[in-house]
Amino acid sequence: MQTIQKVTIFYFSGTGNARRIALWFSEFAEKKGIDCQIQNIASCDFSKISMLIENSLVLIISPTHGFNFPKITLDFIRRFPNGKNRVVLMNTRAGMKIGSYVTPGLTGIALLLSSLILKSKGYHIVGQIPFDMPSNWLSLHPALNEKTVKYLHKVNYERAERHSQKIFSGENDFIAYRDLIQDILISPIALAYYLVGRFIIAKSFYASLHCNACFSCIRQCPVQAIQKIQERPYWTFRCESCIRCMNNCPQRAIDTSHGFIVIVSILSSAIFSYFLQKLPLFIEKSLPLRWLISTAIFMVVLWLLYHAQHYLLRYRVFAKFISHISLTFYSFWGRYKSIPDDQWKK
């Protein structure tokens, strides 16, 4: 087994789950007297990476979005310089709690795809480790309660410590292989999300009538996906749906427009049904072509109506209507941020 003397950790994080894992591994490395550096992928200087990782065990930690790493993480891995370092890949995924049991999330192709890319660059993959941190996808479900969040932090901290003992001793750790079958089975969903789904999610966010135009969302966005248009935040297709803006907004003014997505779905479906009657028979009978056409119609309708919604949100009556058909607008839905260790260690 190889003795580990230096560790370099790269992470991307929206609400802080992946950052929390990075901090824990840094803590465990320092306890062993291992030199450790942490780098945020969103602000990493590529010209210095080769120097940073020299003679280092490399850890890459990121959340999974749609059963894959988000585009910012994949782009980082694709641009990573060639090397021969040992690399451990980790992901945070949607953990829940039933009694004392932590329900595991799904990793999908995140670790497999990234491993293939890094192997092609000469790296030695020595670990793939998922962590079931608190699920934070508030577009789909309410925020978990405080007790559950604290419990999941405690469980994952203990898991991180066990895995750190193993990889810092020079051992391989491929616990992610336990979920290999289901991860492969959901790979088509991961591909669909990367090609289409993430763009739909990006256009579901908006600033409600509570927005006071402080634009902290624009300043904090890790991928500069939010623009100021007509003195209001506007989400572009570059959005990674990391939810940082929604959870950090001081006015709690950023919401997911569930009603808007329903309206877009109904209208685009009606338009597609109309055009389907006009299309040649060979297209009507081809499922791939039908999917491409229906997807194209949906994305065009989504883009046009999002522009219209952004304009109409200046008017209070319309802003109130949009807010009241957005589940995240209601106080019971809540918000989520990873908590500091001193909160769950009490």
pLDDT of residue 282: 62
Please name the residue ranges forming H helices in 135-286.
146-167, 180-185, 187-192, 198-202, 216-220, 244-248, 258-276, 281-284
Residue pLDDT, tens place only, 293-327: 899 999 999 999 999 999 999 999 999 999 999 99
Give the CATH number of domain 6-189: 3.40.50.360
Report domain extents, the chain.
6-189, 196-333
CA–CA dist 106, 113 (Å, integer): 15
CA–CA dist 238, 223 (Å, integer): 7
pLDDT of residue 281: 66
pLDDT of residue 276: 79
Domain 196-333 has CATH 1.10.3720.10: no
Q: pTM for the complete prediction?
A: 0.93
Region 170-196: mean pLDDT is 92
> Among 163-172, 186-195, 229-238, which stretch is predicted with the lowest mean pLDDT?
186-195
Residue pLDDT, tens place only, 58-102: 999 999 999 999 999 999 999 999 999 999 999 999 999 998 899
